[in-house]
Amino acid sequence: MRPAILDKLFAPVTALPGIGSQAAKLFERLAGPLVLDLVWHLPGGIIDRRAAPPIRALEPDRIATITVRVEAHQPGFGRRPYRVLCTDSTGTLTLVYFNVKGDQLARLFPVGAERVVSGRVEFYGGMPQMAHPDLVLRPDELDRLRPIEPIYPLTAGLSPRIVQKAVGAALDRLPALPEWIDPALREKRGWPGWREAVRHAHAPETEADLLPTTPVRERLAYDEIFASQLAVALVRARRHRQKGRTIVGTGALTRPVEAALGFSLTGAQRLAVAEIAAEMAQPRRMVRLLQGDVGSGKTVVALIAMLTAIEGGGQAALMAPTEILARQHHATLQRHAAAARVEIGFLTGREKGRARASMLASLASGLTPAVVGTHALLQPDVEFRDLALVVIDEQHRFGVEQRLGLYAKGRDADTLLMSATPIPRTLMMTAYGDLDVSRLTEKPPGRHPVDTRTVALERIEDIVAAVGRALARKAKVYWICPMVEESETADIAAVEERHKALAPIFPGRVGLVHGRMKPADKDRAMAGFAGGELDLLVATTVIEVGVDVPDATVMVIEHAERFGLAQLHQLRGRIGRGDKPSTCLLLYQSPLGDVAKRRLSILRETEDGFRIAEEDLRLRGAGEVLGTRQSGLPTLRLADLAVHEELVAIAHDDARLVLERDPHLDSERGQALRALLYLFRRDEAVQYLRAG
C-alpha cells in the first residue's frame, strides 16, 4: 500500500482550488493528471519585476513595474485597440488592449485612481506603451506582487497565471517526508532536504538557479535517479531468486561449428561466450543483454549459445523484428550450423498451409531443435517440446509483453537479448540496470575501416558522378534519404523524388526501399540488391539494422545533419562488411550549426560505436539516443543524464549497498525508501519486495 502521507500528492489535479474537469484535461496534457505531476513541473525561466523606473527612464523590450495615475480612456473601434492613458510626474504611458468587451477596463482603471502596472514595455511612435500588462494592482494590493516570478512551460489554453496558481496550490500540499539519502552523501554534496529542495526549485531568484547543477536541482535529480536505480536493483534481485534450469553444454555441436567458421573468435566474443555458458549452467534464470557494435559478431555468439542449449537437451528460438533480418539470421545460422548437422527452422507470417503445419509439428515434437522467426513465433499455435533458450535480436524494437510471450513458451527458459545500438554506460545503468551485460567491443579481423567524408549538398552533381564511377567498378551503393521533420509521408516523398532523379541516370540498376512498401516488395528490392539485378539502392532508414550485403562499399547519406549520431553510425555499418575498402559520404546543407558540425566531425574521427553513443548522449540527451518511446526507458523529468552522469554511478552503488544490508527495506531508512519509490511511481518494485 502507498504510504498515506503521499495521498495529497496522488490526488487528481481537480482537488486543487479553481481546477474543474475542463482545465484538468489541459493540466493532464501539460504535466500529468495528479497533483504530484505539478510538483515535478519545474520552471524553465524567470521574470524579474524588480525594475521600477519612472516613465521617462523606460527602455524598450524590458519588464518594468510602474506606479501610475489614470488620466483618460480612448475606447477602440474596428481594428483600433482600446487605450488607457496614464502618467507619473515624468511622462505618459499608454496601456493598450485588444478585443475589449463591456466595461471591464473602466472598472479596472477609474480615472484619477492610482494603479501599479507590470509588463513588457514597447515604444510606438516614440512613446512608451504596455500591451495587456501582466499585472494591474491597487497600491494596497502590493503584497500580491512577486518581484521574481517563475516561468513555466505552458500548453494551449493555460495562461502563465493559472499554471503559477495551480503549482502554488500543489506545493501547499507537500508533506514532510523522512530523509532517504545517506547523511554523509547529503552533507558532502551540500544538498537541502526534499521539501526544501522542491520549494526552492519553484522559487528561483536568478537565471543561475535554473541550472541543473545547483544543489537544489541536483538533489531532486538524484532522488529520481536513485528511485530508478533502487527499482532496477530490486527487479534484478528478484530475478536472481527466480529458479531457472541448469543447462550444461557438451561441446559436441559447438566444437565442430567453431572449427568450421573459417576465422577465430575475437577476445570479446570468447569472453561473451564464456559468460553466457557460465550463466546458463546456473540453476537460476538467465536474462542477459549482448551488446555489440555493428559487425562485432553477435550472431555467432548467439549461435554458440543456441547450440549449447541444444547440447543440454533443449530447443532454442531466435526472434527478429523484421522479415528481412530474420531471413538473414536464418541464412547465417544455417550456414554455420551445417558443420554440426543441426537443422534450423524458419517461421514468419508468410509461411502458410502445409509448410507452416509441418514446421509447427516439427517444433512441437522436438525434431527441429532451433528456429528463427519474426513475431509469428508468438502465435498461440506455435508450441515447443522443450524451449530452453530464447534469443531476441534488436530487443528494443519489441515490447516487454512480446519478449515475455516467447519466454513463456518454454519451461524456465533462459533469455539472451541482443542489441546493435551501442548504449552509453550511464543509460545502460538506467535503462537496463536489471540485466547482466556482455559487450562486444572488437571488430572481427579483416574488416576495413570506412573512409568517412563530409560534402556540401551544393556538390550533389559531383556525388552522382562519383556514384557512377563506383558502379563502373562493380561496387554496390546505398543512397540514404533524409529524415524530413518528423513525418513519414514527407520522408517517403523525399526518397521517391531521389529515386526518380537517379533511375534515368543509371537505367535498370536503381532499387527503392521505404517503410510503407509491402513486405514482399521490400524483400524483392533487397534481394535484387543483394543479388545481381540492382546496384544502387535508394532507401530511408529502414535499412539501418542488420541488412548484410558484403559487396556494398559506398554509402551516400543525404542531409546527414538531420540524423542522430548513433543512427548515422548504424547506417554506416551497412558498408565495409566485405574485404574491399569502403566510403561513406555525408551530404550536409550549409551553413552547419555547431552541434551538427561536432556530430559530423566525430563520425569522421572514429568508428567506435560506444564512444559515438557517449557523444550522442551529450549532444542530444537520453530520450533521443534511445528513442524513449520504444526503448522502455523510464522518462526522467528532473534528471538530465548528460549532465548528471556522475549521480547515476553514485545511485547505482548506493542502491546495491542498501539492498545488501536491508533486502526487504524494513529498516527506518528502508521505509523512507519505500516512500521514494512510490513518489517516482516505481510501485512494481515495491510489489517485488512483498512477492519475495
Question: Within this chain, do residues 454 and 380 fall inside the same structural domain, yes or no?
Answer: no
Q: Does the structure show a pLDDT above 80 at 429?
A: no
pLDDT digits (tens, 9 = 90+) for 78-96: 788 999 999 999 999 999 9
For 657-662, which contacts have Cβ atoms below 8 Å and span 24 or more sequence positions? 658/230, 658/233, 659/230, 659/233, 659/234, 659/237
Instruction: Give the end of a domain, one of 104, 129, 145.
Output: 145
Residue 309 lies in a domain: yes
Domain extent at residue 80: 50-145
- CA distance readout (Å), 613 to 142, 292, 384, 426, 682: 52, 12, 38, 11, 27
* pTM, full prediction: 0.67
Question: Within this chain, do residues 455 and 331 fall inside the same structural domain, yes or no?
Answer: no
| Range 266-293 average pLDDT | 91
For 59-62, which contacts have Cβ atoms below 8 Å and span 24 or more sequence positions? 59/121, 60/121, 60/122, 60/123, 60/128, 61/120, 61/121, 61/122, 62/120, 62/121
Residue 31 lies in a domain: no
Question: Within this chain, do residues 459 and 587 fall inside the same structural domain, yes or no?
Answer: yes
337 Cβ contact list (under 8 Å, min separation 6) = 253, 257, 303, 307, 343, 344, 370
| Range 268-280 average pLDDT | 95
Instruction: Give the end of a domain, one of 577, 606, 635.
Output: 606
| Range 150-179 average pLDDT | 93
* 380 vs 357: CA distance, rounded Å: 13
Question: Within this chain, do residues 400 and 464 fall inside the same structural domain, yes or no?
Answer: no
The confidence score (pLDDT) of residue 448 equals: 75
Q: Which of the listed ranges 189-198, 228-237, 572-581 does the model predict with the highest average pLDDT?
A: 189-198
Q: Quick one: pLDDT band at residue 488, thresholds 50, 70, 90?
A: low
Q: Does the structure show a pLDDT above 50 at 205?
A: yes
Q: Quick one: pLDDT band at residue 689, thresholds 50, 70, 90?
A: low
Question: Within this chain, do residues 529 and 405 fall inside the same structural domain, yes or no?
Answer: no
Q: Quick one: pLDDT band at residue 351, thresholds 50, 70, 90?
A: confident
Q: With pLDDT > 70 as the criterion, what percentage of the chain qualifies? A: 90
Q: Which of the listed ranges 186-200, 322-336, 575-589 does the model predict with the highest average pLDDT?
A: 186-200
Please identify which residue in the block is written with the cell numbers 500548453. Answer: 155
Residue with the larger pLDDT of the pair 619 and 327: 327
Q: Does the structure show a pLDDT above 90 at 547?
A: no
Question: Which segment of 93-97, 241-245, 313-317, 416-420 scores lowest on mean pLDDT?
Answer: 241-245
Question: Within this chain, do residues 395 and 539 fall inside the same structural domain, yes or no?
Answer: no
State how many domains the chain has.
3
Structure-block grid coordinates of residue 507 = 537505367
Residue 389 lies in a domain: yes
Question: Within this chain, do residues 417 and 457 fall inside the same structural domain, yes or no?
Answer: no
| Range 499-509 average pLDDT | 92
Residue 499 lies in a domain: yes
Do 109 and 70 touch, CB atoms closer than 8 A? yes
Residue 198 lies in a domain: no
Question: Within this chain, do residues 414 and 498 fall inside the same structural domain, yes or no?
Answer: no
Question: Which segment of 185-189, 260-264, 366-370, 434-438 scores lowest on mean pLDDT?
Answer: 434-438
Compute and round to an integer the Cα radius of gyration of the chain: 31
Q: Which residues of 202-230 are buried (b: 16+ CB within 10 A; e: fewer)?
A: bbbeeeebbeeebebbbbbbbbbbbbbbb
Orientation of helix 215-241 relative to helix 194-201, angle to 10° = 130
The confidence score (pLDDT) of residue 643 equals: 84
Pairing mode, if any, of strands 122-124 and 127-131?
A: antiparallel
Residue 459 lies in a domain: yes
Instruction: Look up residue 265 and give its DSSP letter.
Output: P
Question: Within this chain, do residues 455 and 381 fall inside the same structural domain, yes or no?
Answer: no
* 218 vs 198: CA distance, rounded Å: 11
Q: Which residues of 451-486 are buried (b: 16+ CB within 10 A; e: fewer)?
A: ebebbeeeeeeebeebbeebbeeebbbbbbbbbbee
The confidence score (pLDDT) of residue 631 equals: 39
Please identify which residue in the block is written with the cell numbers 463591456. Answer: 102
Do 226 and 654 touch, CB atoms closer than 8 A? yes
Instruction: Give the end of a domain, one of 122, 145, 168.
Output: 145
The confidence score (pLDDT) of residue 627 equals: 42
Residue 542 lies in a domain: yes
Residue 351 lies in a domain: yes
Give the neighbor-by-neighbor strand order of the sheet with 122-124: 122-124, 127-131, 91-97, 82-88, 63-74, 114-120, 135-137
Do 122 and 130 touch, CB atoms closer than 8 A? yes
Question: Within this chain, do residues 369 and 263 fall inside the same structural domain, yes or no?
Answer: yes
Q: Does the structure show a pLDDT above 80 at 636?
A: no
CATH (domain of 276): 3.40.50.300
Question: Within this chain, do residues 576 and 457 fall inside the same structural domain, yes or no?
Answer: yes
Closest CA to 135 of 199, 201, 52, 59: 52
Question: Which segment of 142-151, 159-168, 487-496 scores lowest on mean pLDDT?
Answer: 487-496
Q: Does the structure show a pLDDT above 50 at 632?
A: no
CATH (domain of 90): 2.40.50.140
Closest CA to 328 of 92, 161, 574: 574
Q: Does the structure show a pLDDT above 80 at 529?
A: yes
Pairing mode, if any, of strands 114-120 and 63-74?
A: antiparallel
Q: With pLDDT > 90 as the criterion, what percentage of the chain qualifies? A: 53
The confidence score (pLDDT) of residue 506 equals: 92
pLDDT digits (tens, 9 = 90+) for 436-480: 788 887 776 667 788 999 889 899 999 999 999 999 998 899 999
Give the neighbor-by-neighbor strand order of the sheet with 344-347: 344-347, 370-373, 315-319, 387-393, 414-419, 287-292, 436-440
Question: Within this chain, do residues 72 and 122 fall inside the same structural domain, yes or no?
Answer: yes
The confidence score (pLDDT) of residue 109 equals: 95
**DSSP readout, 492-546?**
HHHHHHHHHHHTTTSTT-EEEE-TTS-HHHHHHHHHHHHSSS-SEEEE-GGGGSS
